[in-house]
Amino acid sequence: MKKIITWFNVFVLLANLASSSYAQVIEDFKPSSVNQLGKEYPQVNSEGRVRARIYAPEAKRVQLDIGGVKYDMVKNEKGFWTGESDCQQEGFHYYQLNVDGASVPDPGTKYFYGAGRLGSGIEIPAHDADFYALKDVPHGLLSEVNYYSKITQEWRRCFVYTPAGYETNTEKRYPVLYLQHGSFEDETGWGSQGKANLILDNLIAAKKAVPMLIVMDNGYAVRPNERALFQTTVFEEVLLQEVIPMIDTKFRTLPQRESRAIAGLSMGANQTMRIAMNHPESFAYYGGFSGTSNYPSTEPLDADTFLDGKFKDGKMVNRQFKTFFLGLGTSEPVPFPGVVKAFRQMLDKQGIRYTYYESPETAHEWLTWRRALHQYAQLLFR
C-alpha cells in the first residue's frame, strides 16, 4: 500500500509539472529592449516568455493580456503582482495589463500605436535581429511632417525617412517609397515598431539598397461630411493629390514613376495594391506584405472582373511593374494564407511575374513586415 501511494504521489507531481507553466519556466529573464529608461519589468526569457510586474496592493485580480490570452498574475506580500505568459514567437507583440477589469498599458514599457490605441509592446529577441539593429553605420533622419489636407479639411501628419547624406549632398535627388501601416495602426508604426529607418540605414550602408526616401502616412482619411473613425474613403486622393506633390516640393525627389515605389502591410497592402493598379503613371514598384486586395476571400479570382480587370492584361502589368512583391509569414492565421494563395494563383494564370517571400515562423505581426521590407527594399530602383 505504501508503494502504491508513492507512485500515486509521483504521478500527481508529474501531472502538476506538465500542467503548470510556472514549473517549466527558465529563470533567465532580462528587461525587454523596449522598456522605458530604468524599468526592470516587463522581462523576457530565452523561451520567449513574458514576465510582467505591477504594484497594485488593493487589487483583487491582475492579468497579463498578450496574444489573445490572459494570464493570471500573483500578488506578493508587498503588493506587487507578477506573472508569466506562455512562450511567444520571436518579434514584436502588443499587450496590456488588466487590473480588476481595467485594461491599461503596462507602466514599464514604451507605447506603440496598434489595435486603435497606444499600448504596451514587447520585443522577443529574434535570431535575425541584426538587420534592424541600431548599429555603427551612417544614420538617416526620421522626420515628422505636418500638412493640411484640403480634401479631409484637417491637419494630417506623415513621417519621412531621409537617408544618411541627404542633408549634405544637396545636389542629389532621391527615389521615394510610400509605405503604409495596417488596420488600426497609424503613421507612427513603420518608424517605431517597424524599424523601417534602421532597416534602410543598414541596407544602404551595406550597399544592398540604394539611398531612398520613405514616406509613411496615415492610411485613414475621410471627407469632412463623412467624419468617421478608421475609414479609408479618400486616402487614395489624399496620397495622389496632396501627399506626393507636397513631398516632391518639400524634398529633393526624383518625381517620376520609375523612381516611385509603394508598399503596405495587411490593410495597407490591400490599399496600396488598388492605388498602384489605379495609377500606373505614378508607381513602378509594388509591395504587399501579408495582404492582397481580394482579402478576406480565399476563392479563386477571375482576372476579368477582379479590381475592374486591372490584372486582365498580364503583359501590361509586367510592363508596369519593375518589381511586384508579395510577402507572408509562414505562421499567419486564417484567412491570410488562403487569400494570398488565391491571388498568386491568379497572377500565375495571367503570366504576371512577381517575387514571393515567406518569413519563417512568424505570424501576422511586425517581424514578418520588417523582414518583408528588408527583402523588398533591396529590389527597388535598380
Contacts for 261 with CB less than 8 Å, ≥ 6 apart = 175, 176, 177, 178, 212, 283, 284, 285, 286, 287, 323, 380, 381
Site string for a second copy, 210-249 (x = CB under 8 A): -------------------xx------------------x
> Could you tell me how many residues make up the chain?
382
Q: Which is nearer to a second copy, 62 or 284 (CB)?
A: 62
CA 289 to chain centre: 9
Q: Mind giving me the DSSP string for 226-240? A: G--TT--TTHHHIII
Instruction: List for the chain the helix, strand, coil content (%; round to 5).
Output: 30, 25, 45
| Pairing state between β 176-180 and 141-149 | unpaired
Q: Which is nearer to a second copy, 38 or 68 (CB)?
A: 38
Q: Which is nearer to a second copy, 182 or 327 (CB)?
A: 182
Query: Is residue 76 close enough to count as binding a second copy by CB under 8 A?
Result: no
Which residue type is seen at 371?
Answer: R
| Burial state string for 26-36 with b = 16 or more CB within 10 A and e = fewer than 16 | eeebebbebbe
Question: Rounded to 5 degrees, what are φ and ψ at 123?
Answer: -105, 120
Q: Which is nearer to a second copy, 19 or 249 (CB)?
A: 249
Among 25, 31, 82, 111, binds a second copy (CB under 8 A): 111
Interface stretch with a second copy, choices 106-114, 270-278, 286-294, 349-357 (CB under 8 A):
106-114
Q: Coil, strand or helix: which one is 265? A: strand
User: Which residues, numbered 125-184, are part of the site for a second copy (CB under 8 A)?
Assistant: 134, 136, 139, 141-148, 155, 160, 167-168, 170-171
Among 16, 33, 79, 125, binds a second copy (CB under 8 A): 79
Q: Which is nearer to a second copy, 21 or 153 (CB)?
A: 153
CB of 123 to a second copy, least distance (A): 16
Query: Is residue 116 close enough to count as binding a second copy by CB under 8 A?
Result: yes
Q: Which is nearer to a second copy, 7 or 155 (CB)?
A: 155
The residue behind cell 514613376 is 257
Cα(161)–Cα(213) distance, integer angstroms: 5
Cα(129)–Cα(335) distance, integer angstroms: 28
Q: Which is nearer to a second copy, 87 or 137 (CB)?
A: 137
Cα(187)–Cα(114) distance, integer angstroms: 11
Q: Coil, strand or helix: which one is 184? A: coil
Interface stretch with a second copy, choices 11-19, 55-63, 310-318, 355-363 (CB under 8 A):
55-63
The residue behind cell 551612417 is 138
Among 18, 37, 77, 78, binds a second copy (CB under 8 A): 37
Among 34, 52, 54, 267, binds a second copy (CB under 8 A): 54
Footprint on this chain of a second copy (rule: CB under 8 A): 36-39, 54-62, 79, 97, 99-105, 107, 110-111, 116-119, 134, 136, 139, 141-148, 155, 160, 167-168, 170-171, 186, 191, 229-230, 249-252
